[in-house]
Structure 1
Amino acid sequence: MDLPLSTLQTIRTVAERRSFTAAAAVLGYTQSAVSRQIAAAERDLGVALFERAPRGVQLTRAGGLVLRQIVIALDALDRAERMLADKPRHVRRVRVGAVSVAGTALLPRSIAALRQMEPDLEISTREGTTPALVRGVRAGTLDVALITGRPPFRSPDQEHPPLQQHTVIDTALALAVPSASRHAGPEPVTLESLEGESWIASRSSEDEPQLGVWPGLPGRPTVQHWTRDWATKLGLVAQGAGITTVPADFLPAVPPGVTITRIDGVPAEIRRVSLAHARDLDPTVVASLVRAMREAAATLVTERREWT
């Protein structure tokens, strides 16, 4: 395989983003330049690396085999650059991806704990959806990912071998309501009492539902505000602009004017946060990550109970 370094980086980025256009934006190329690089690589290798579809691209079987070797080569070059830069050999690096809900409080506290456990561990982070983060782990641009799942908690993708997963915490969903609203009073909140309410929600994608409207709410709820940012969501609730579904255990202290409450008479809606990684990741690093994240989650739960 005799491909330029830039082409190797392009193949890996397209595999992760599943889109020539998205990969071009990340790499600073035009979409046509990315297409030309991939086409040239496919001609040189004599195989198709990607299957084109209206909604994006996905790796072929041959593309998956090529990608694994590309990841090994790029990681080796990265290590060589660090050695030439005279960086201490004991320094290690882990690239962590996290869904937005984990990034509000769980991820920062986990990093603080990791710095105590592994002072020589370099940590970089980035946010994304669960499907995008899983693709990042598969493509080798992430080492681990904090992802969310719903019962029955299947593998996050269909590829083999499956990624290894470690449960960080299971939590029940709750509601964030304005403290001045009737839902914050002594009367229990029921599905019927939520009829006609305005909701604050995140837009869902085809492969990942987002939080906002309570799952299974009957009728056609009105979503008045769309945002993925948790500070914005809670700020809107505090101002009486609507209500929203929250994973209460992961939130930092809520702002004044917001009350966290539960819905009576319905089964608990459980969400799981897991740490996913490839099977060849250093087991000592994995153990430290899992321990730090579980400890951070336990601390958040304790604090949550103290201020409710």
Structure 2
Amino acid sequence: MIDRQRGRATLLGSRIPLASLIQALAVAEYLNFRHAANALGVSISSISTRMKALEEDLGVLLFERHARGVRLTEAGRRFVKHVAVGVDQLDHAVKTAGMAASGECGRLRVGIHALIPGSFLAKLIGRYRESHPRLDIEMTEGTARDAVMQLRADRLDLVFLAGAPELPDCHSRRIWTESLVVALPKQHRLARRAAVTWSDLSGETFLARHGGTGPQAHDHIVLRLTGRWPAPSIIRFDVGHSTLLSMVGQGFGITIVGDATSLLPNSDIVFLPISDEPEPIPFSAVWSPHNRSTTLRNLLALAGAMGRHCESSQPVRQR
């Protein structure tokens, strides 16, 4: 059966003006129509008329009038108590909706290959969190391949990848660059040099991650060392970034990384620049064209600004 009284209350509640509820709260606070009217900036007659209409709609007496003002009835006290909670929730809903629309609160899901203290990416995330303290940033560390799969499945909003990927179903933008360095075990024959060339690295065993920080890592090694003798060996492992570096330190082989990785403390590894590497590695932001999130646009704007400042402050490369 339909609860007629409950149905009546629901219909009644849906047609009570919000202004009447707010004025009822003011009257309950001041217990005086004049003071409540002054606080709200309305006329006494307006409040008096609204309170009378509200009581008639509810069918109960909320306020007992007397010469000095009003006092709440028991029904009025209960009514005001619940209305206050509802108005607070509504106010919170309005404020949070506005903040979410402007990107000040909500959630942003970011895919990364590693978050290295002192790196461009770490500074970017840190500055974004400072300027958006109410925003929850969820970070997922993994390979480029896995990150793109999660992006396409709408489990990530944005991923940062090495290189300049051309994905037909995604947008991408170059954000920052890093010089390419080679990571060698401390006991390696080349470890005491100030720099190395690609010819120095021919015949070496390179370690790489399946999927890597970008799909071009394996191809980059092959491109640079094709035709050189002895030929290099490239072994792929399904491990994380830190594990791969640990394997380098233990003598499994060498690897190439962006120079931000050299900021990591590691007594077993030496990072050396590759002097004949013509260009630094670009790092790009990749996102879905269907993602209209303001939080995403805000992060992209900050990343672009920081990236331009970083490039403008770097010395011009001599050729």
TM-score relative to the length of structure 2:
0.51
Question: Structure 1 counterpart of 2:190, which letter?
Answer: H
8 Å contact from structure 2 (residues 171, 287) kept in 1: yes
Aligned residue for 2:233? 222
How do 1:184-263 and structure 2 match up within 5 A? 184-186=191-193, 188-204=195-211, 208-210=215-217, 214-216=221-223, 217-218=225-226, 220-223=231-234, 226-263=237-274
CA 136–266 in structure 1, closer or farther in 2 if over 3 Å, else same: closer
Using the TM superposition, name which of 172-181 and 277-286 deviates more.
277-286
Question: Structure 2 counterpart of 1:236, which letter?
Answer: M
Question: Structure 1 counterpart of 2:270, which letter?
Answer: T
Secondary structure of the residue that 2:221 maps to in structure 1?
coil
CA 127–267 in structure 1, closer or farther in 2 if over 3 Å, else same: same
1:114 aligned onto 2:128: yes
Aligned equivalents of 1:202 and 1:141: distance in 2? 22
* Structure 1 vs Structure 2 CA RMSD: 3.9
| Alignment deviations for residues 34-59 of structure 1 (CA, whole Å, 9 cap, x no partner) | xxxxxxxxxxxxxxxxxxxxxxxxxx
8 Å contact from structure 2 (residues 158, 285) kept in 1: no
State the identity as a percent: 22
How do 1:149-168 and structure 2 match up within 5 A? 149=163, 153=164, 155=166, 157-159=167-169, 163-168=170-175
Question: Structure 2 counterpart of 1:165, which letter?
Answer: S
Question: Structure 2 counterpart of 1:192, which letter?
Answer: S
Aligned residue for 1:47? none
Match of 1:177 among 184, 191, 194: 184
TM-score relative to the length of structure 1:
0.53
Secondary structure of the residue that 2:190 maps to in structure 1?
helix
How do 1:1-308 and structure 2 match up within 5 A? 89=97, 90=99, 92-100=105-113, 102-105=114-117, 108-149=122-163, 153=164, 155=166, 157-159=167-169, 163-186=170-193, 188-204=195-211, 208-210=215-217, 214-216=221-223, 217-218=225-226, 220-223=231-234, 226-268=237-279, 270-278=281-289, 280-283=291-294, 285-291=296-302, 295=306
| Alignment deviations for residues 19-40 of structure 1 (CA, whole Å, 9 cap, x no partner) | xxxxxxxxxxxxxxxxxxxxxx
Aligned equivalents of 2:250 and 2:278: distance in 1? 29
How far apart are residue 290 of structure 1 and its match?
Answer: 4.2
- Point out the structure with max Rg over C-alpha: 2
Aligned equivalents of 1:251 and 1:182: distance in 2? 19
How far apart are residue 266 of structure 1 and its match?
Answer: 4.4
Question: Structure 2 counterpart of 1:198, which letter?
Answer: T
Which consecutive unaligned segments of at least 5 residues does structure 2 have?
A: 1-88, 314-319
Secondary structure of the residue that 1:184 maps to in structure 2?
coil
How far apart are residue 294 of structure 1 and its match?
Answer: 6.5
Question: Structure 2 counterpart of 1:119, which letter?
Answer: P
Aligned equivalents of 1:224 and 1:166: distance in 2? 30
Question: Structure 2 counterpart of 1:232, which letter?
Answer: T
CA 129–197 in structure 1, closer or farther in 2 if over 3 Å, else same: closer
CA 189–210 in structure 1, closer or farther in 2 if over 3 Å, else same: closer
| Alignment deviations for residues 241-264 of structure 1 (CA, whole Å, 9 cap, x no partner) | 321111112554240132211223
Question: Structure 2 counterpart of 1:179, which letter?
Answer: K
8 Å contact from structure 1 (residues 114, 289) kept in 2: no
8 Å contact from structure 1 (residues 166, 290) kept in 2: no
8 Å contact from structure 2 (residues 143, 210) kept in 1: no
Aligned equivalents of 2:116 and 2:292: distance in 1? 26
CA 256–298 in structure 1, closer or farther in 2 if over 3 Å, else same: farther
